[in-house]
């Protein structure tokens, strides 16, 4: 059975940590974004080639709703049809916007959960799990199944999401 990417849903119940992280982002244009320090960029919300703060806010609000409700990609694109067409955002670009932002938010939430001291005490080792589909990069496939201590510096580079599409 083929994977239907239009119905891809990250979680049916949102992580509170993911939602809080995403709600705390500040919409800004690429020009504004590139002037920020690396630390400040974590709290910024931007979309490549998007100069309208109103459009950025519309997109951010719609992604917050997607996280809150577990809205899948197909439903999100339908709900954003007018905004996406107004700003000439193609299907593949909309998918990248959706996946990048939701994956990052969920992984920040997951990281906060996994680094809770009680959780770390029970689970001091983490395993890297790659998607292992035909698009998986060789370096990611080589990491699949490898286990490292939670405090190993490898996670500074390899904690997901690492690379997109």
- Exposure string (b/e) for 63-92, b if CB count within 10 Å is 16 or more? bbebbeeebbbbebbeebeebbeebebeee
Amino acid 119: pLDDT:
92
Amino acid 10: pLDDT:
44
Amino acid 34: pLDDT:
87
User: Between helices 16-23 and 91-114, what is the axis angle to 10°?
Assistant: 120
Q: Is the pLDDT of residue 43 over 80?
A: yes
Predicted model pTM: 0.75
Task: Return the DSSP state at 29.
Answer: -
- Residue 161: is the preceding peptide bond cis (ω within 30°)? yes
Confidence of residue 14 (pLDDT cuts 50, 70, 90): low
Share of the chain above pLDDT 70, in %: 90
* Highest mean pLDDT of the ranges 14-18, 50-54, 58-62, 104-108: 58-62
Taking residues 61-72, report their average pLDDT: 90
Q: pLDDT tens digits for 91-127?
A: 899 999 998 888 888 888 888 889 999 999 999 999 9
């Amino acid at each position: 059975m083929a994977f239907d990417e239009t119905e891809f849903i990250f979680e049916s119940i949102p992580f509170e940590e993911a939602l809080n992280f995403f709600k705390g982002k500040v919409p800004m244009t690429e020009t504004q974004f590139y002037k920020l320090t690396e630390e400040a960029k974590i709290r910024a919300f931007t979309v490549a080639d998007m100069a309208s703060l109103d459009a950025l806010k519309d997109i951010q609000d719609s992604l917050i709703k997607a996280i809150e409700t577990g809205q899948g990609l197909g439903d999100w694109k339908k709900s954003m049809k007018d905004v996406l067409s107004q700003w000439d955002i193609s299907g593949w670009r909309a998918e990248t916007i959706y996946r990048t932002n939701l994956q990052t938010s969920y992984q920040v939430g997951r990281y906060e959960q996994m680094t809770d001291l009680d959780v770390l005490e029970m689970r001091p080792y983490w395993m890297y799990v790659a998607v292992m589909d035909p698009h998986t990069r060789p370096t990611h496939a080589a990491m699949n199944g490898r286990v490292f201590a939670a405090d190993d510096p490898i996670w500074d580079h390899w904690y997901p999401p690492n690379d997109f599409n």
